[in-house]
Amino acid sequence: MNYLRLKKKKDFSKILRSGKRAFSPTLTVSYLPSDRVRMAVCVGKKYGKSVARNRIKRLLREAFRAESGTISKPCSFLLIPKVAEKYSYAAFRKDIAGILKREKLIETERI
């Protein structure tokens, strides 16, 4: 695992209050520069019952883990999915990679 998990309410509040936000079709990412790469997922009851919410969290954590190796600037991330009928790993991973690239948080490839 290349990142740490955020678990405290004060960390969530700090990121939401003073962090930057980036949007994509499937999720919203709030982030704030920090000393390490840290991540949390925020999925409320409007997303369905616990089984559905836990599946969304697993998909988001795995998609972030797959893309976290390319992050060059350490930040604390808060991932908030948008309500949809179906959620997929491929869509989450594509959107996370797109946001990281758009916000210039990943290493650029050198030729």
Range of the domain at 42: 4-102
Report the SS3 class of residue 111: coil
| pLDDT band at residue 43 under the 50/70/90 scheme | very high
12 inside domain: yes
The structural domain count of the chain equals: 1
Residue 25: CATH number of its domain:
3.30.230.10
Alpha carbon distance, N-terminus to C-terminus of the chain:
28
- Starting at the earlier edge strand, list the strands of the sheet with 38-41: 4-5, 38-41, 75-81, 27-33, 20-23
47 inside domain: yes
pLDDT cut 90: percent of the chain above it: 85
Q: Which residues of 80-102 are buried (b: 16+ CB within 10 A; e: fewer)?
A: bbeeeeebeeebbbbbbbebbee
H or E element that contains 77: strand 75-81
The gap from C-alpha 4 to its chain's centroid, in whole angstroms, comes to 12
Tokens matching residue 106: 């990943």
Q: Give the tens place of pLDDT for each residue, 81-99.
A: 999 999 999 999 999 999 9
111 has pLDDT over 90: no
110 has pLDDT over 50: no
Q: What is the pLDDT of residue 108?
A: 64
